Amino acid sequence: MGLGRLIVLTGPSGVGKGTLLRSLLKRHPDLYLSVSATTRAPRPGEVDGKDYYFLSRPEFERMIANGEFLEWAEFAGNLYGTPKASVDNQIRQGHWVILEIELEGARQVRQYFPDALRIFILPPSLPELESRIRTRGKDTEDAIVRRLQRAKEEINAADEFDIQIVNDDFDKALNRIEEALFAPAMC
């Protein structure tokens, strides 16, 4: 079995990371998506263990204290993190693991996995990003304002990543992610 690889996919809330990732996984089912843990309540249709591990705040804080997260951060009043054991196990088995995480988490992962491929997804513009967040109808007005403020900070950090991809055309953005992952292996 070949070497495992870690891929970090980051970008502001509402930029389309999840949609791009779902399409990528349909095309490449051999990729392993790491499931994050969170203290936020499940949204309608979300399944524990598939979309996230939904934990109480005390459970999450116990895992932090025990060093069980590869990365973790607080965002919009909730804690989010990547359980370390499952990522390590998948990479040891030779799988390519994708983390869909926010900026603070991506920075933490770089310390633990400096050779990870880090991809940042950018919106075509801030007004377009705001429209996408509002259209999905999942957040309160207060949460939308926080997400947009955070998005500005995140966009300013895009150059910290190996590759930046603007999601202004879904198919082109998806193809650029595939090129980033698989083109070097074909050389």
Domain spans in the chain, listed from the N-terminal domain onward: 5-186
Percent of the chain with pLDDT over 70: 97
Average pLDDT over every residue of 111-129: 94
Distance of CA 42 to the CA centre of its chain: 17
The domain 5-186 having CATH identifier 3.40.50.300: the answer here is yes
Identify the pLDDT of residue 184.
Answer: 60
CA gap 168, 170 in Å, rounded: 6
Q: Are strands 78-83 and 69-75 parallel, antiparallel or unpaired?
A: antiparallel
pTM: 0.85
What integer best gives the mean pLDDT of the chain? 92
Distance of CA 175 to the CA centre of its chain: 18
Residues near 28 by beta carbon (within 8 Å), at least 6 away in sequence: 178, 181
pLDDT at 187 over 70: no
Structure tokens at 22: 């779902």
